[in-house]
């Protein structure tokens, strides 16, 4: 990865993410740093979370997604299905909180090396940049570059259909090389409300943009999506 590309993600990440403003759909109530700091619930087979997925652009509900822990060992496997009972790609972590295979994107993404799913320290000032490679759609190979700047922005009480939770809100700004050579300046932005008490996020927002080679002007927008927890076990 060349220096100019590395400098781009650093300068871009620090500007919009450091201000700590959510994407604009969810709102929580700021609270003080808990003392002691909550521990993250460890994984157990049978733990389950169900989310309502929504398209923010048109407000359309995109259905329910249920995620269930089916294996805990050297890797943690989270099996996923939609409200029709159809199986979706699994999420694979190992160890807990470090994602190897992430199904939350338009195509299944596998990281080498794996990267954290949530802040490694549950404090309001934690931040870090991760550099890795990814493969998409289950294909193997040398991979494409993925740079992610993750930063925490404080503890909040937030209410979703499943209840009210104490969460650490964090944001990620991702700059990645597309598998489509015509796409450049590919950016994803996420705001996540992570609840240590359930070992999972209770709300999440995601949006993205990209440019076409030689394009001038405004970037092309990708889906803007929102997830809310409706139930858990």
What distance in Å separates the CA atoms of residue 95 and residue 113, rounded to the nearest whole number?
Answer: 12
**CATH architecture of the region 3-232:** Beta Barrel (2.40)
Q: Residue 106: what pLDDT? A: 81
Sign, CA torsion 58/228/201/67: negative
Domain ranges of the chain: 3-232
Sheet strands (E) in 83-181:
87-93, 98-102, 109-116, 127-136, 144-160, 163-176
Site of tokens 């733990």: 47
Q: What is the pLDDT of residues 112-160, one digit of tens each?
A: 999 999 999 999 999 999 999 999 876 667 799 999 999 999 999 999 9
What distance in Å separates the CA atoms of residue 57 and residue 48, rounded to the nearest whole number?
Answer: 28
Site of tokens 């700091």: 37
Q: Residue 26: what pLDDT? A: 67
Cross-strand bridge partners of residue 145: 133
Phi, psi of 87, deg, nearest 5: -75, 135
Q: Are 136 and 179 in contact (CB under 8 A)?
A: yes
Q: Residue 71: what pLDDT? A: 98
The encoded tokens of residue 191 equal 């705001």
Query: At a CB cut-off of 8 Å and minimum separation 6, what does 48 contact?
Result: 66, 67, 68, 69, 231, 232, 233
Of 211, 208, 209, 207, the residue nearest 184 (C-alpha): 211
Of 90, 62, 64, the residue nearest 76 (C-alpha): 90
In order along its 233 residues, the chain shows pLDDT tens digits of 333 333 344 444 433 433 444 555 567 999 999 999 999 999 999 999 999 999 988 889 999 999 999 999 999 999 999 999 999 999 999 999 999 999 988 889 999 999 999 999 999 999 999 999 999 876 667 799 999 999 999 999 999 999 999 999 999 999 999 989 899 999 999 999 999 999 999 999 999 999 999 888 899 998 899 999 999 99
């Amino acid at each position: 990865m060349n220096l100019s590309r590395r400098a781009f993600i650093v300068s871009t990440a620090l500007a919009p993410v450091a201000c700590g403003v959510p994407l604009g759909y969810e709102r929580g109530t700021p609270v003080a740093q808990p003392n002691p700091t909550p521990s993250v619930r460890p994984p157990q087979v049978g733990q389950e979370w169900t989310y309502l997925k929504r398209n923010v652009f048109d407000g359309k509900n995109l259905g329910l997604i249920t995620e269930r822990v089916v294996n805990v060992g050297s890797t943690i496997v989270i099996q996923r299905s939609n409200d029709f009972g159809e199986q979706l790609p699994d999420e694979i972590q190992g160890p807990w909180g470090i994602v190897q295979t992430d199904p939350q994107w338009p195509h299944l993404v596998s990281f080498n090396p794996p990267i954290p799913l949530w802040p490694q320290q549950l404090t309001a000032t934690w931040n870090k940049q991760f550099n890795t490679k990814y493969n998409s759609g289950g294909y193997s190979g040398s991979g494409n570059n993925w740079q992610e700047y993750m930063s925490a922005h404080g503890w909040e009480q937030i209410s979703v259909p499943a209840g009210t939770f104490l969460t650490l809100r964090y944001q990620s700004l991702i700059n990645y090389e597309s598998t489509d050579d015509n796409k450049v300046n590919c950016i994803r932005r996420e705001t996540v409300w992570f609840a240590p008490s359930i070992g999972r996020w209770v709300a999440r927002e995601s949006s993205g943009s990209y440019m076409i080679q030689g394009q001038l002007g405004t970037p092309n927008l990708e889906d803007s999506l929102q997830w809310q927890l409706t139930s858990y076990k």
